[in-house]
């Protein structure tokens, strides 16, 4: 499944969780609505907004916040069952609920993104460590090549990754991975874009080029600059393994 579709599914799932939570909290408080102050009700409705935003992101959180505010207005302010407010205090509480819920949604969304980024960074580093371990143990070079290809595919969620030993007749006609990495400036959001059609990631070390890893994707793939650096490091480890194998031969 593409990253865009995964994000859409995550947003929808987060919205479902948030709205279901709002519904459960509302049902639980309805029998007590004449005993609870509107401020307490509003604060309790913020919690499912946090859950929805943390699971589904900013859009899911804002949607849950709007639903929570509408239910608060209809079910917990006089006249019940109406979108009208009997007092200015009720209207102010509803607006405060919406503002607080949206702010909570933004906070939860940023926390979710930070958690996701940390997880992705750890996963990328673990991929590099596995290749380093193979090289350090002087594993068979074919095993290192296969592992490097597999780690690059997993890192970028590619369709395929092939190793072409030097000299490569097609390398000069492919987009160079280093060029894509160089474009990942802070102004561009720190992202690299891997275009479809084959991107050449040079496998070189100690002044020698051993070939390239060719990255294939059906559609453009966006990745972080850190993931790009990890891919370059994997290629360098592969070059080290090939260098060691050539000395043995």
74 vs 179, which has greater pLDDT?
74
Q: What is the pLDDT of residues 163-172, one digit of tens each?
A: 998 765 454 4
Query: What was the pLDDT predicted at 26?
Result: 93
pTM of the model: 0.62
Helices (H) and strands (E) in the chain, counts: 7, 6
Q: What is the pLDDT of residues 124-145, one digit of tens each?
A: 899 999 999 998 888 888 999 9
CATH superfamily, domain 138-248, is: GAF domain (3.30.450.40)
Q: What is the pLDDT of residues 76-125, one digit of tens each?
A: 988 888 888 888 888 888 898 889 888 888 888 888 878 887 888 898 89
Q: Where in the chain is the domain with CATH 3.30.450.40?
A: 138-248
- Pairwise CA distance, residues 89 & 96, whole Å: 10
Q: Which helix (H) or strand (E) holds 144?
A: helix 141-156
DSSP state of 64: H
- pLDDT band of residue 148 (cuts 50, 70, 90) is very high
- Pairwise CA distance, residues 213 & 216, whole Å: 10
Q: What is the pLDDT of residues 171-225, one digit of tens each?
A: 445 667 776 666 555 444 567 888 887 889 989 887 788 889 999 988 888 888 8
Give the helix ranges, DSSP H, for 77-140.
Answer: 88-136
**In terms of DSSP bridges, do strands 191-194 and 175-176 run parallel, antiparallel, or are they unpaired?**
unpaired
Task: Output the six-digit token pair for 161.
Answer: 């990754």
Query: What was the pLDDT predicted at 187?
Result: 45
Which among 127, 5, 111, 6 is positioned nearest to 53, based on CA atoms? 111
82 class by beta-carbon count within 10 Å (0-12 exposed, 13-18 middle, 19+ buried): exposed
State the helix-helix crossing angle for 88-136 and 141-156, rounded to 10 degrees.
Answer: 170
- Pairwise CA distance, residues 65 & 67, whole Å: 5
């Amino acid at each position: 499944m593409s990253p865009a579709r995964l994000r859409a599914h995550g947003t929808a799932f987060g919205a479902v969780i948030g709205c279901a939570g709002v519904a459960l909290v509302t049902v639980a408080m309805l029998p007590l609505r004449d005993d609870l102050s509107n401020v307490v009700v509003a604060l309790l409705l913020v919690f499912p907004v946090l859950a929805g935003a943390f699971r589904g992101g900013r859009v899911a959180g804002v949607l849950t916040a709007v639903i929570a505010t509408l239910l608060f207005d209809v079910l917990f302010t006089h006249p019940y069952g109406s979108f009208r407010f009997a007092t200015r205090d009720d209207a102010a509480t509803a607006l405060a609920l919406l503002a607080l819920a949206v702010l909570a949604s933004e906070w939860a969304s940023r926390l979710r993104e930070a958690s996701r980024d940390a997880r992705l960074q750890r996963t990328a580093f673990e991929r590099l460590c596995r290749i380093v371990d193979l090289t350090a143990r002087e594993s068979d070079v074919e095993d290192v090549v296969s592992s490097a290809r597999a780690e690059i595919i997993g890192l970028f969620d590619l369709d395929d990754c092939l190793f072409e030993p030097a000299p490569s007749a097609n390398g000069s006609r492919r987009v160079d991975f280093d060029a894509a990495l160089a474009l990942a400036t802070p102004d561009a959001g720190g992202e690299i874009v891997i275009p479809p059609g084959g991107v050449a990631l040079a496998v070189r070390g100690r002044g020698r080029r051993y070939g390239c890893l060719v990255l294939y994707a059906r559609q453009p793939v966006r990745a972080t600059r850190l993931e790009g650096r990890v891919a370059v490091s994997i290629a360098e480890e592969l070059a080290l393994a090939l260098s060691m194998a050539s000395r043995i031969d």
